[in-house]
């Protein structure tokens, strides 16, 4: 009888040992989980509450998801900032290149000018806009009839626009409003039709020096030109008026074959 009880006791002990071993193995394999669960239970015990493990696991999962969302948002923010920075740098590069090209074109090729005054009427009026071709393009091809933009003698702060009527080595005479070049009268169908007013001009006849031109305004009674300040040297010429671009209804090309 005692033997049977002993045997049963042995069986029971063996069974409990087996169960305890399994619990120990489970705890060992899930040590992090049970540590967290133990800490959570302890925290709630101090607050006189009871918390269950699955609740904490849900909170932990939510925290991880929130952290991942923050990291994702931070990554997206960095990508967007890089794209914005790239676009800004690209536009700065485009603007810089465009500015350099415009500067080169303005300096060496052509520019735009706004006319002030009536000295070139009726061909060009006040506030007309012109496309001016720079002087290097026609350095060796200035002809009578060209409308040029230049700095008058003694200053670089002012810009005049007049018509070339004679070139270097030509002789000229202005008498009673008529222009004579090399003793031949020039038919000027472009001048303002008004009675010529005689004034005491300093340069109304002579011979034009080499590499110089004689310029007059089409509105002879209202023009400060070579009759007053003399000849214009070619290095004073800025450019030649090529096209009147404004007003639109008066657009024209200044052809001088």
Query: φ and ψ at 161, to 5 degrees?
Result: -130, 120
Cβ contacts of 233 within 8 Å, gap of 6 or more = 211, 212
Which residue among the candidates 6, 52, 162, 210 is catalytic per the annotation? Answer: 162
- Cα separation of 19 and 213, whole Å? 119
Q: Say whether 111 is catalytic.
A: no
Q: Say whether 6 is catalytic.
A: no
Which residue among the candidates 119, 134, 226, 240 is catalytic per the annotation? Answer: 119
Active-site positions read 119, 162
């Amino acid at each position: 009888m005692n033997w049977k009880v002993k045997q049963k006791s042995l069986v029971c002990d063996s069974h409990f040992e087996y169960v305890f071993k399994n619990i120990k193995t489970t705890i060992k394999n899930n040590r992090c989980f049970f540590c967290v669960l133990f800490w959570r239970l302890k925290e709630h015990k101090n607050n006189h509450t009871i918390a269950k493990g699955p609740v904490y696991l849900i909170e932990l999962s939510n925290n991880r998801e929130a952290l991942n969302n923050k990291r994702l948002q931070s990554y997206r923010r960095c990508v967007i900032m890089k794209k914005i920075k790239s676009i800004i740098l690209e536009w700065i590069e485009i603007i810089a290149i465009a500015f350099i090209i415009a500067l080169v074109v303005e300096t060496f090729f052509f520019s735009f000018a706004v006319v002030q005054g009536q000295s070139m009427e009726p061909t060009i009026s006040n506030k007309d806009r012109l496309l001016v071709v720079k002087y290097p393009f026609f350095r060796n091809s200035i002809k009578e009839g060209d409308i040029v933009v230049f700095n008058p003698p003694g200053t670089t702060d002012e810009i005049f626009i007049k018509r070339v009527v004679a070139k270097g080595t030509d002789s000229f005479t202005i008498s009673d409003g008529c222009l004579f070049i090399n003793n031949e009268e020039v038919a000027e169908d472009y001048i303002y039709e008004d009675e010529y007013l005689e004034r005491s001009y300093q340069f109304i006849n002579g011979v034009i020096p080499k590499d110089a031109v004689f310029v007059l305004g089409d509105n002879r009674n209202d023009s400060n030109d070579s009759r007053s300040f003399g000849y214009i040297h070619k290095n004073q010429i800025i450019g030649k008026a090529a096209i009147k671009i404004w007003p639109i209804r008066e657009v024209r090309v200044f052809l001088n074959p």
